[in-house]
Copies of this chain bind each other. A is one copy, B any other.
């Protein structure tokens, strides 16, 4: 018999996927908003969602279709667990914000469930189940949101692994979330079609400079590379005000600015917290001139990881 009253709770921060020029590959966590998930063992060999509360109540309660549910189903099956899980989700990240809302529920659920295991797994070992969970929402196993939530900070994610990329602690991100909706489906459709080898080489050069610049703490190299020539030009027309918000960030001294995740939020990196904070008002003003209210937040690029509460 398992103890039905024992619930473990975990918090996962939000994150920015598709960070800089790392489409589907690079993301970083954000201090501040996040999802809280409670998980308890149940005797029934199943996974069920008891409640979803908070910012978004449109999420599926059916475990298989929910990122948290799908991740724990995958965990149970892989480990051959005899018991099941019951999940309660408190959403703190608005869906469709480009802040990894669906990924955070999934990661918080895994971290909480992991704490209930007799032999908890490493964060690396949880990664495949987080990819399974992410696929429930997006249809693809991309790790650029769940990876940063599991490890913290800036993380390179592939189908097989997560690699933490160290960045200077002083570097900060400003994220501005406009009150406009951009469906991920539309954002994905904008990327259909063919690509030229030249686009690939230019984008790769930029990604390489950002990665090496981060690891060397070389701001100039990050500035040189922080220019998405492949994905951003195809998606920016879907975000009214994007060009003006980006320019406001650059005028405020940003290394660069781009679309957070699949949008519509816009993020920019700065050398210091003070610069990042000073950029928020002009970035929001630019969205306002385009007709959209917005919220902003500032976080270290090396944000926190998900933790048991």
Contacts and interface: CB of A to CB of B under 8 A. Distances in A.
| Count class of interface residues, chain A | 20 to 34
Contacts of A200: 23, 195, 200, 203, 230
A19 interface: no
Chain B CB count within 10 A is highest, among A25, A156, A200, A209, for A200
A64 interface: no
Given A212-B163, A212-B165, A24 B201 contact: yes
Nearest to A234: B197
Contact of A195 (B25, B163, B197, B207): B197
Contacts of A165: 212
Nearest to A165: B212
A208 B23 contact: no
A119 interface: no
B208 A160 contact: no
A191 interface: yes
Interface string A181-196: 0000000000100111
A207 B207 contact: yes
A128 to B, nearest CB: 15
Given A25-B204, A204-B204, A211-B211, 19 more contacts: A22-B204, A22-B208, A23-B201, A23-B204, A156-B205, A156-B209, A156-B212, A158-B205, A158-B208, A159-B205, A160-B224, A163-B212, A163-B221, A165-B212, A194-B195, A194-B196, A195-B195, A195-B200, A200-B230
